Amino acid sequence: MRFLKEFLFLSLLMIVGCQGDEKKDGDETRLLPQKNQFEKVIGGKKTSLFYLSNDSGMKAAITNYGGRVVGLIVPDKEGKPVDVVLGFASIDEYQASAEPYYGALIGRVGNRITNGRFSIGGVDYTVTRNNGPNTLHGGAMGFHSVVWDAEQESDSSLILKYFSPHGEEGFPGNLEVKVVYTLSSGNWLEMKYWAKTDALTPVNLTNHAFFNLNGEGSGTINNHIMMIDAGFYTPVDSMLIPTGELRFVENTPFDFRIPVKIGSRLGTSACVQLKYGHGYDHNFALNPSEEKVSLAARVRGDKTGIVMSVYTNEPGLQFYGGNFMKSENRLKSGVDDHFRTAFCLETQHFPDAVNQPGFPSVLLDKGEVFNSVSIYEFDVK
């Protein structure tokens, strides 16, 4: 079945044309922001910008403010540099942004917690509500808004660490977190997550990079071709909280098992789920695999020919189609973040799992270690 998916995907790629914008040599330097625009003191800690590179033409810019991927340069089919991650040119712009999650590390619990409440061992906890009556991505001052301790091991690797104290945003237990960003010579960006605690607490870490494989500022992502290796998704209510059900994707707009244009079903479907999310903003239950890290999704930019393959050991993948982008922010390329000009593929445990006994548990206990990996591999077709 997996071989069939690969064959169909590559066959479809050969049909669709891929023509990139003209860029001059050395544009990868121009495309990434300047380090001095990221030097600031926030909460008594210094922020900065760190550059990663490999021998295959990839470059990344990452700031320790929120652990954000600010830019990611990938060669297109003609070898020309394309920045495939949306971001801003300075720390000030990130702080002022109407969208707080661009490129950021997300925690202590990614996605939504209904009513900002949960119980552990008979003890009730209330955490910060920042999404109507619910908690989203760790609360108002989640990991996206803190300054991480940074250590650059090499030109291709960056270590970020953060200590989340007991009671931060209402979560129990002290939590030590480490995330390692690595640019591999195989043209992938790897994110390794590690955490441990001194008390039972929910943990669900991810990254919220906004991708456009045609390049930041290139227009809609609805013509990107995507495959998600998932036979089920978790439907939501009108507040985007999972109902607890696993629903089969067959004969629904959520069937991406065979590659299809992202926006091909958005304008014609009367699907209630798409109305709730104003498009796609749903968790997919990835198909089980015997591999420790397996393919979760594959997306191709229709203009550049850049293909991104996502691998993970997580059970879920949140696909967000940029439905709440409102042209309220000026990006580092000088254009606004228009409606559906980026997508997110967030590897994760399921949303609201702390309140859903039928979902894989997100509880981490004392003595246990949280380990998760996300790999974003790039190629051209």
Report the catalytic residues: 208, 346
Q: What is the CA radius of gyration of the chain?
A: 20
Separation in Å, CA 287 to CA 210, 228, 296, 310: 24, 9, 8, 14
Contacts of 225 (CB under 8 A, 6+ apart): 9, 12, 13, 16, 259, 260, 261, 262, 299, 300, 302
CA distance 265 to 321: 12
Which residue do the tokens 């239950």 mark?
Answer: 285
Tell me, letter by letter, the H, E, C secondary structure of 303-351. CCCEEEEEEECCCEEEEECCCCCCCCCECCCCCECCCCCCEEEEEECCC
Alpha-carbon distance of 182 to 360, in angstroms, equals 28
Distances (CA, A) of 348 to 94, 161, 208, 314, 334: 24, 19, 11, 6, 32
Cβ atoms of residues 227 and 309 within 8 Å: no
Any idea which residue has 């003609």 for tokens?
78
Q: How many Å apart are CA 342 and CA 321, to the nearest integer?
A: 7
Instruction: Sort residue 7 into left (φ over 0), alpha (ψ -120 to 50) or beta.
Output: alpha
The CA-based angle 323-327-328, given to 5 degrees, is 110
Distance, in Å, from the CA atom of 128 to the CA atom of 146, rounded to the nearest integer, reads 15
Would you give the DSSP letter of residue 161?
E
Nearest to 283 by CA among 226, 201, 337, 353: 353
CB atoms within 10 A of CB 242: 24
